[in-house]
């Protein structure tokens, strides 16, 4: 059947705009994807349990009708697309643009690129997709791999006031470090999906795993410890610089390795390479795409950044989950 030929595996995520356009050209193609995600084994009526192909109404691809009880089932119920007048392909495009590595988009760019008539509509769409990017999970990372922990000052380039630290916000970052041969999937930045020889200027055979980013009020020991305790699995290897705020991690039950780097770039690259690549990318994204972000909204942007980062090996999962149509596969990335 042609229908099953359309099934998207996670590894079949379209890598170019043209591929995407071919996959989801119209309402019907998008509806098929929704149906496939909801019933991977084939349609089953939620009312009467009838199994087997439902009636499809050509003029209304968003609705299926059960052959047995004749009730109608909405494919968009429970998703961000429900009861909106925007065509499904516009929503699919929006989700694609938000989840691809091309870092985020402003509402204005969105409106122009997708030919949406009103700015408010574009803004609402982005807003809905962002609400699906809030961090739902508070589980701990570092169970299998060491983590790097460090803090950085983010944002705060207030116009006309120079670049003093007084407007910057303190953020703590924690990232897993995996041996490259254990990489979680093909590199999404490479067209054919092959694994890279080098990544982020760091060639010693490691790759970043999952990430956590959080605003913190200060660098006090109690502050840093509470974040590590909430985010990192007990017993994990935790790598930090020589800051005294981390002195107690061994006593708390972690395997703590601290190296005093004191701003020495070579030492930093050696001991905490991954988290500094992450901080660099985060900075570029906040300043380049969003032209700086106010402290009030920063955590939301951090969540968006982490969402994309943690799903970069599974872009199809990210795509489905911002549309809120993801089901079982979502747990892969937690």
Q: By three-state DSSP, how is residue 320 classified?
A: helix
d(CA 241, CA 223): 16
Comparing CB distances to Zn ion, the nearer of 44 and 130 is: 44
Count residues binding Zn ion (CB under 5 A).
7
For the bound state, the minimum distance from the C-beta of residue 123 to Zn ion, rounded and expressed in Å, comes to 38
- For residue 94, give the nearest of 116, 61, 125, 50 by alpha carbon: 125
* The binder of Zn ion chosen from 7, 17, 48, 252 (CB under 5 A): 48
Q: Is the distance from CB of 205 to CB of 180 less than 8 angstroms?
A: yes
For the bound state, the minimum distance from the C-beta of residue 50 to Zn ion, rounded and expressed in Å, comes to 4
For the bound state, the minimum distance from the C-beta of residue 45 to Zn ion, rounded and expressed in Å, comes to 3
47 binds Zn ion (CB under 5 A): yes
50 binds Zn ion (CB under 5 A): yes
Comparing CB distances to Zn ion, the nearer of 39 and 285 is: 39
> β-strands 169-179, 72-74: how paired?
unpaired
For the bound state, the minimum distance from the C-beta of residue 49 to Zn ion, rounded and expressed in Å, comes to 7
Comparing CB distances to Zn ion, the nearer of 49 and 179 is: 49
Residue with tokens 């999404």: 188
Q: Which residues contact 268 (CB under 8 A, 6 or more apart)?
A: 241, 261, 276
Burial of 315 (0-12, 13-18, 19+ CB in 10 A): buried
Q: Which residues contact 197 (CB under 8 A, 6 or more apart)?
A: 203
d(CA 294, CA 157): 9
Comparing CB distances to Zn ion, the nearer of 67 and 135 is: 67
Select from 39-47, 84-92, 148-156, 283-291 the region that touches Zn ion (CB under 5 A).
Answer: 39-47
Q: Is the distance from CB of 24 to CB of 30 less than 8 angstroms?
A: yes
Comparing CB distances to Zn ion, the nearer of 15 and 60 is: 60
275 binds Zn ion (CB under 5 A): no
Comparing CB distances to Zn ion, the nearer of 39 and 123 is: 39
d(CA 269, CA 275): 10
For the bound state, the minimum distance from the C-beta of residue 48 to Zn ion, rounded and expressed in Å, comes to 3
* The binder of Zn ion chosen from 37, 45, 81, 149 (CB under 5 A): 45
Select from 46-54, 128-136, 234-242, 256-264 the region that touches Zn ion (CB under 5 A).
Answer: 46-54
* The binder of Zn ion chosen from 51, 57, 69, 143 (CB under 5 A): 69
For the bound state, the minimum distance from the C-beta of residue 71 to Zn ion, rounded and expressed in Å, comes to 5
66 binds Zn ion (CB under 5 A): yes
For the bound state, the minimum distance from the C-beta of residue 54 to Zn ion, rounded and expressed in Å, comes to 8
Burial of 323 (0-12, 13-18, 19+ CB in 10 A): buried
Residues forming contacts to Zn ion in the complex (CB under 5 A) are 45, 47-48, 50, 66, 68-69
């Amino acid at each position: 059947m042609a229908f099953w030929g359309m099934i998207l595996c996670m590894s079949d995520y379209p890598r170019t705009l043209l591929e995407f356009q071919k996959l989801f050209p119209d309402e019907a193609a998008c509806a098929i994807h929704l149906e496939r995600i909801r019933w991977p084994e084939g349609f089953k009526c939620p009312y009467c349990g009838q199994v087997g192909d439902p009636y499809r109404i050509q003029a209304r691809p968003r609705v299926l009708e059960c052959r047995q009880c004749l009730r109608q089932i909405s494919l968009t119920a429970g998703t961000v697309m429900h009861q909106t007048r925007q065509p499904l392909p516009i929503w699919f495009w929006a989700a694609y643009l938000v989840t691809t590595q091309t870092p985020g988009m402003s509402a204005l760019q969105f409106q122009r690129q997708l030919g949406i008539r009103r700015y408010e509509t574009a803004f609402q769409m982005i807003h809905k997709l962002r609400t699906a990017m809030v961090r739902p999970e508070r589980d701990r990372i570092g169970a299998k791999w060491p983590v790097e922990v460090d803090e950085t000052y983010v944002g705060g380039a207030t116009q006309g006031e120079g670049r003093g630290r007084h407007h910057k916000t303190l953020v703590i970052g924690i990232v897993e470090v995996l041996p490259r041969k254990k990489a979680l999937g093909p590199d999404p930045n490479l067209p054919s999906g092959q694994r890279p020889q080098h990544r982020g200027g760091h060639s010693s055979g490691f790759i970043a795993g999952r990430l956590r980013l959080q605003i913190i009020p200060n660098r006090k020991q109690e502050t840093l410890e509470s974040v590590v305790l909430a985010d990192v699995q007990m017993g994990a290897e935790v790598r930090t610089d020589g800051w005294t705020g981390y002195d107690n991690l061994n006593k708390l039950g972690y395997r703590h390795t601290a190296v005093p780097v004191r701003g020495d770039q070579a030492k930093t690259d050696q001991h905490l390479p991954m988290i500094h690549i992450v901080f660099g990318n985060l900075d570029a994204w906040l300043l380049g795409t969003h032209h700086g972000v106010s402290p009030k909204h920063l955590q939301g942007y951090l969540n968006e950044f982490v969402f994309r980062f943690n799903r970069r090996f599974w872009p199809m999962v990210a795509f489905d989950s911002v549309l809120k149509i993801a089901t079982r596969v979502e747990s892969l990335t937690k």
